[in-house]
Structure 1
Amino acid sequence: LRALRRYRDDQTVALVAALDRSGPVRERLYEALLALAAMDLADPDRRGCLAVNTATALASTDPEATDLVRRMLDLTEQALTALVEEGQRAGEIAGDRDAAALGSLLMNTVVGMRVVARVAESGAGAARLDRVIRGAVGAL
């Protein structure tokens, strides 16, 4: 659990920092998601995301690990929802869209990307993940 907590701290800080810089919201989101994909694809062992791996392997047997992963997903979703709300205030994202629903969609996109990257072939995987990212950002 110590490794999972450290991973949470490192990953959350990195994502929030990537989302919390200046510039257009869609561009920041695209670049943050692209950086996540590149990091996963750069791992020659394709170990994947520790949070996703923990959720899929231990969710039914380890309540403490499950709770920690759940909180990690919540933090990710909150950061993404806040970014959507910022985009709405700036007029970059339609104000009539449900920011919480879009934040949930983006969080699930991140989780799915992490799974795809784990099994992807380098070139084809990068192209697929880029399509996913462009589709998610475009859906806003």
Structure 2
Amino acid sequence: MSDISFDRARRYVLGLGCERGTSPAEVLALAIEALDVAGIRAAELAAIASIDSRRLEPAILAVVAHFSVPAVFFGAPRLEEETPRLANPSAIVFARVGCHGVAEAAALAAAGPDADLAVAKIKSAHATVAVACSGLQKA
């Protein structure tokens, strides 16, 4: 369970995954693209979430700084618990990090048990992003 407080203005969580050393510009561009695709404003973001092995990754931290929201990180076992809710589980990701998805799973884990994916995983050359919406009434 995350420590994120949701309100009607900030009910989305941006989930990020990336290879080590990915450029901040690549991850930020992908994050902005995901929000644009769904028509989500930056002001609607409650947090950014990822796997704990990326806690100090410069690209992730750059996106957190850009949107000025809290970051939340989860261990692979916690992200693996989200596998039944993933739109795009990956055996390759599981082999590399121990869970079937990072971006989707982190977004869902942070947004809570009643969350849904607002944007399923989208990819760039070295990163993935997804957006989950908290279980608040979506109106």
Task: Report the TM-score, using the length of structure 1 for normalisation.
Answer: 0.25
More strand by share: 2
Q: Which has the higher Rg, Structure 1 or Structure 2?
A: 1
More helix by share: 1
Task: Report the TM-score, using the length of structure 2 for normalisation.
Answer: 0.25
